[in-house]
Amino acid sequence: MHTLQDIISKRGAIVIKVGTNLLTDKRTGVRRKRIMQLARDVAFLRGLGHQVVIVSSGAIGAGVASLGLARRPRTIPEKQATAAVGQPVLMESYQAAFRKLGMHVGQILLTGDDFTERKRYTNARNTLRALFAQRVIPIINENDTIAVDEIKLGDNDNLSALVASLLGADLLVILSDVDGLYTDDPSKNPAAVRIPIVHSITPDIEKLARKSGSDLGTGGMVTKLQAARRCVASGVAMVIANGEDPSVLKDILTGEIRGTLFLPGSGRLSGRKKWIGYVAKPRGSVTVDDGARSALLARHTSLLPSGIIAISGEFRGQDTVSIVDRDGLEIARGVTNYSSADLQRIRGKRSGELPQILGRPSRDEVIHKDNLVITGGKS
């Protein structure tokens, strides 16, 4: 699967993420014309046989205009209150636009926990499928009114990638007010050029994302790159494009590369591994020595207690944890067989010693290779 045409010709699910700046204007509120255009594009896609999901920002933006606030709120309670006002205003505009085309929309508000708990994750997927079956267009946003820090995803770039991965979508299109990924910050360097296709997300690409000027919404290029990593690992292609151009979506959807296309990785992970590596939130981390690091990366082994040098955070057996190297860089994630308290006692020990230390029959592996996903460490 090497071209955008190939990806689109599969006629699967497509997720479209639309940023705050495209949807709202500080003074005039919701940009109804832009939403109408989006509805037409979605109708076009549906006509081609795709399932479509919209991940929409703009609740806070719409709330700012409705309440006549001079600026975007800064504190969490203020943001929550503003989102509570703006979200229904935004949905009303979607409803009105889609109704004109004879289509229904449904609202889904999610928080981080909906992805971290596998049961809720499956429930969310079932609801989306039920909406597809009824030919309803799901419109998703983070549940800003209740999402406090611990359960917050924080940005809709990552939310849209999680949704695309959950659905096994073919493509995520992130529409924002940036033209794509550039070789340098285009506002500072006139020689900067747009990168049309990214075949793999190398450390150099990550560096470019940090350099690019960020847009005015919550997520800049950094969160878009995080989203791209999630997509690529789950076998989903992703495009970042400038949604100010009304024809951009239609062009992309007919196979023309506008913005930057990230091609999906070749090996699709199983649903469970996808969840472990890119969805569940790690409850803590274990630091491994260089020997364990190379065994994990080169031979995809299980993680044994002998390779562990430190543990951080408090977690229980069956929680997802992050595996980091001596420099603190994440190399993998996995489901631990041991709690953090037990790991403190058995780290650095040989497997044969465990029953004696713990006083019970014990498993050799801290994380079995079937429950482990390599997420980094390629640099």
Site string for ligand GLU, 12-51 (x = CB under 6 A): -------xx-------------------------------
Minimum distance from CB of 75 to ligand GLU (Å)? 15
144 binds ligand GLU per the rule CB under 6 A: yes
Stretch that binds ligand GLU, among 59-67, 191-199, 237-245, 360-368 (CB under 6 A): 59-67
Nearer to ligand GLU, 60 or 332 (CB): 60
114 binds ligand GLU per the rule CB under 6 A: no
Minimum distance from CB of 19 to ligand GLU (Å)? 6
Stretch that binds ligand GLU, among 141-149, 249-257, 264-272, 332-340 (CB under 6 A): 141-149
375 binds ligand GLU per the rule CB under 6 A: no
Minimum distance from CB of 295 to ligand GLU (Å)? 38
240 binds ligand GLU per the rule CB under 6 A: no
Site string for ligand GLU, 147-166 (x = CB under 6 A): --------xx----------
178 binds ligand GLU per the rule CB under 6 A: no
Minimum distance from CB of 229 to ligand GLU (Å)? 17
**Cα distances (Å, whole numbers) of residue 228 to 132, 206, 222:** 25, 11, 10
**Cα distances (Å, whole numbers) of residue 332 to 82, 216, 277, 282, 297:** 38, 32, 7, 11, 9
Among residues 41, 114, 142, 170, which is the contact residue for ligand GLU, using CB under 6 A? 142
Minimum distance from CB of 310 to ligand GLU (Å)? 34
Nearer to ligand GLU, 57 or 234 (CB): 57
Nearer to ligand GLU, 155 or 365 (CB): 155
User: Which H, E and C letters describe the chain, residue by residue?
Assistant: CCCHHHHHCCCCEEEEEECHHHHEECCCEECHHHHHHHHHHHHHHHHCCCEEEEEECCHHHHHHHHHCCCCCCCCHHHHHHHHHHHHHHHHHHHHHHHHHCCCEEEEEEECCHHHHCHHHHHHHHHHHHHHHHCCEEEEEEECCCCCCHHHCCCCHHHHHHHHHHHHCCCEEEEEECCCCCECCCCCCCCCCCECCEECCCCHHHHHHHHHCCCCCCCCCHHHHHHHHHHHHHCCCEEEEEECCCCCHHHHHHCCCCCCEEECCCCCCCCHHHHHHHHHCCCCCEEEECHHHHHHHHHHCCCECHHHEEEEECCCCCCCEEEEECCCCCEEEEEECCCCHHHHHHHCCCCHHHHHHHHCCCCCCCCECHHHEEECCCCC
Nearer to ligand GLU, 62 or 373 (CB): 62
340 binds ligand GLU per the rule CB under 6 A: no
Whether residue 221 contacts residue 209, with contact meaning beta carbons closer than 8 Å, is answered with yes
284 binds ligand GLU per the rule CB under 6 A: no
112 binds ligand GLU per the rule CB under 6 A: no
Q: Which of residues 60-79 bind ligand GLU (CB under 6 A)?
A: 60-61
Q: Which of residues 188-227 bind ligand GLU (CB under 6 A)?
A: 217-219
Give the residue from 107, 84, 105 showing the smallest Cα distance to 95. 105
Report how many residues bind ligand GLU under the rule CB under 6 A. 16
236 binds ligand GLU per the rule CB under 6 A: no
Binding site for ligand GLU (CB under 6 A): 19-20, 57-61, 83, 141-142, 144, 155-156, 217-219
